[in-house]
Amino acid sequence: MFGVLLLTSSLHAAPLRFDTIAENFLDPMELSIASDGSIFVIEREGRLLRVNPDTGGTFVIGQVPVTALHESDSKTPYAREDGGLGITVAPDFATSQQLYIYYSHPTEMLNRLSRFTLKGGLLDLSSEQALLDVHTDRRDRVCHHGGSLTFDPAGNLYLSTGDNTNPFESGGKAPLDDRDKREHCDAMRSAGNTNDLRGKVLRIHPTKDGYDIPADNLFKPGTEKTRPEIYVMGCRNPFRLSLDPKTGIIYWGEVGPDSRNADDKGPMGYDEVNQAKQAGNFGWPFVIADNKPYPIVDFDTRKPGEITDPAAPRNPGHRNTGLEVLPPAQKAFVWYPYGDSTEFPVMGSGGRNAMAGPVFYFDAKRKWNLLPSEDDHSLITYDWMRGKLWKAKLDQNEQLSTLEPFAEGLRHPMDLELAPDGSYWLLEYGSNWYFNRDGRVRRIRPGTGNQSPILEVEAVPDQPRTWRVKSATDPENEKITVQWWLTVGTAEHQLGTGSSITVPGNTGSELRAVAIDPADNRTIVRIPLQDTNQLPQLELELAGNKLAPGASLGFKVKGLADPAQAVVRLRYIAPAGHDAGTVELPTPVEHTLTTRLCFSCHQTDAKSIGPRYTDVALRYKGNDAALETLKQKLKTGGAGTWGEIPMPPQLTITDEEADAALRAILALGEVLVETTGSAEGTITAPENLPGHEPGGAWEVTAEAPAHQTARLRIPAE
């Protein structure tokens, strides 16, 4: 069932209402809203979807061939952030059925901006008109592609592009590596280059056959050693573009470097929210935040050299094909580090990934106003890692007046768009860094106190393909209407209303029951009619139907081409009566890990950017020094133990919270064992089990990259 989340706290004077409309997206990257209300979503691996906001219908309408990181080769240093990157519908979409997609080309080393036409509601790949190619590198762990798209009222199209540089080999400072064969670590060749399209916000005016250059871009057409498409230069990894339709001002979030301290090689890392009232240079890789300068470091000697002058930055790189003297650097609108921000303390601390959302204007004639009238003219910003929304009140000169948080607890917010009725549509990427299956689209409205219906549906015994309403109640005791919708291919049909429905024939892939109350609050229940798993399913056979502590159990994993990839785990489940198939931590620890944003990078037993807590428990099992070792890692952060993605120091967690959380995480290993590298063998249960008593069970799982996990349970003796 798709529920409603009401956020009521001191963060906001009135509650907000979050309705989940569609879910189970695979790494969704950007959404765009058409004039008829349809929502289009591009996923990282190139799948294009359309969502009907009234029924929750979600339809795969195309597949753009892309280069992307795949689960079957998740540790490759190649194409780490490539794929389907951005989407926006054409201003005349209602008549043209055209949309624009920015994606990583499947065979050429470039990202491409193309215009496509929908025909019969489907993406027609043969209609592609390639408008602009951004030549990129995909080797040696290069990252940062940006990829956000938006139009202004004049029909100009904006595209954000990242610096396409490896961020892991510069100590969290500016990647100014000018040595030969180190181009992948040199952002002077891209973001700091006036003759390169990377690390920019580009602006073009699409035409029937190509595009024109709008007036007042950063460089006039024909200017030597420049590209006229550049509107803003000096960007590291700009997410998400947002344009104020009344002023034409463009905003974007800028994902910053990882350094936790300032030293002689430059300032600490900051994320930024940027504001461009006109074309300009925002400084990367030579300055950051409020124009804090980097020295030009000699990467042979590791000694810092000349300090950048923000008023007249220079690009001395030998791979620079553009101007040496650059336009003056513009400081960020808002900037914040991993730790507490001196300038903007309301941003908090922890992981960071800045995004820019719409500018809110109060309109009494509109159906919905997310914020009260006193918040008129406020930029909404958000952070992918911190899972929060902020409102940045703007004064009459477009300067920052106040900055306040007003919602939190979001699941990696990826995009936020305003609909014509005043509601906001939030795209949440999902729980993990890659390979999500829990991305979703949610509608945000102001809460009125009127709650959605509560709906339960069940299959009717002995009546094939027939379902009925098990229970339907309304918190306000209002009349509920239940509609039944059937998805067939890329279309949907209303089968009827009432308490039950029979799906005719062998048609359809999904049945939806939509409960609607008089206030137009909706609850959607989905019933899949087909197996939608896209990955092959592992099969697990066990040589026994029960297991005692300390005993061994034979197993065989089927459906795996490479047995060396197999991981078989055995977990004891105490007879608590509430285990739903997931590994759980104590509620107070769950609360700590949530409020301290630990779940932004880690999950208890699901893959994410950082190790699973079950992985941590197994690695340190039997290590008497584990608790103190992990406490120290929490304080200092670092990278290398589990991969190159750095873990920020946990500056806000107290010693008591850290002790309780780490003890609970390490305790997971007391009831968990694993064996790796073989699809057939035995696994031995732990002998001394906390909470062991009659009625417990053992859960056995088999997993491998690019496969669905197999899961069986047997009684514990």
pLDDT for res 333: 98
The 3-state DSSP class for residue 422 equals coil
pLDDT for res 693: 63
643 vs 639: CA distance, rounded Å: 6
Burial label, 126 (beta-carbon count in 10 A; 0-12, 13-18, 19+): exposed
Where is average pLDDT lowest: 60-64, 194-198, 659-663? 659-663
Would the pLDDT of 710 be above 90?
Answer: no
Question: 686 and 656 in one domain?
Answer: yes
pLDDT-based confidence at residue 105 (cuts at 50, 70, 90)? very high
The 3-state DSSP class for residue 215 equals coil
pLDDT digits (tens, 9 = 90+) for 36-52: 999 999 999 999 999 99
pLDDT for res 590: 81
Under 8 Å CB-to-CB from 590, ≥6 apart: which residues? Answer: 584
Q: Give the type of residue at 37.
A: G
Question: 284 and 139 in one domain?
Answer: yes
Closest by CA position to 457, among listed 479, 438, 482: 482
Structure tokens at 213: 């250059």
Where is average pLDDT lowest: 245-254, 351-360, 695-704? 695-704
H-assigned helices in 567-610 = 587-595
Structure tokens at 83: 């794929």
Residue 432 in any domain: the answer is no
Residue 4 in any domain: the answer is no
Residue 38 in any domain: the answer is no
Residue 13 in any domain: the answer is no
95: enclosing H helix or E strand: helix 93-96
CATH, residue 704: 1.10.760.10
Question: 152 and 297 in one domain?
Answer: yes
CB-side exposure of 339: number of CA atoms within 13 Å?
A: 11
Question: 553 and 514 in one domain?
Answer: no
Question: 177 and 319 in one domain?
Answer: yes
652 vs 592: CA distance, rounded Å: 11
DSSP string, 434-475: SS-S-EEEEEEEE--SPPPPEEEEEEPTTSTTEEEEEEEE-T
Give the range of the structural domain holding residue 665, as residue numbers without chain letter: 539-715
Question: 494 and 561 in one domain?
Answer: no
Question: 471 and 552 in one domain?
Answer: no
Domain boundary among 398, 419, 440: 419
**Per mean pLDDT, which of 425-429, 443-447, 501-505 is the most reliable?**
425-429
pLDDT-based confidence at residue 7 (cuts at 50, 70, 90)? very low
Q: How many domains does the chain fold into? A: 3
Question: 481 and 546 in one domain?
Answer: no
Residue 431 in any domain: the answer is no
Structure tokens at 628: 């103190």
pLDDT-based confidence at residue 644 (cuts at 50, 70, 90)? low
Residue 440 in any domain: the answer is no
Residue 20 in any domain: the answer is no
pLDDT digits (tens, 9 = 90+) for 672-699: 999 999 999 999 999 888 766 656 778 8
CATH, residue 514: 2.60.40.730
Closest by CA position to 634, among listed 601, 667, 605, 608: 601
pLDDT for res 584: 76
pLDDT for res 532: 56
Q: How many residues does the chain have?
A: 717
CB-side exposure of 135: number of CA atoms within 13 Å?
A: 4
Question: 579 and 522 in one domain?
Answer: no
Over residues 543-571, mean pLDDT: 92
Question: 301 and 174 in one domain?
Answer: yes
Domain boundary among 528, 550, 579: 528
Q: At what angle are helices 655-667 and 587-595 packed, to 10 degrees?
A: 120
CATH, residue 238: 2.120.10
Q: Please name every residue paired with 711 in a beta bridge, in sequence order, or none if there are none.
A: 701
494 vs 492: CA distance, rounded Å: 7
Under 8 Å CB-to-CB from 345, ≥6 apart: which residues? Answer: none
State the Cα torsion 152-158-412-140 to the nearest 10°. Answer: 180
Residue 264 in any domain: the answer is yes
61 vs 122: CA distance, rounded Å: 5
pLDDT for res 35: 92
Decide: 485 and 494 in contact? Cβ < 8 Å. yes
Question: How many distinct helices (H) and strands (E) make up the chain?
Answer: 5, 45
Would the pLDDT of 576 be above 60?
Answer: no
Question: 485 and 359 in one domain?
Answer: no
Question: 414 and 294 in one domain?
Answer: yes
Decide: 126 and 162 in contact? Cβ < 8 Å. no
pLDDT-based confidence at residue 136 (cuts at 50, 70, 90)? very high
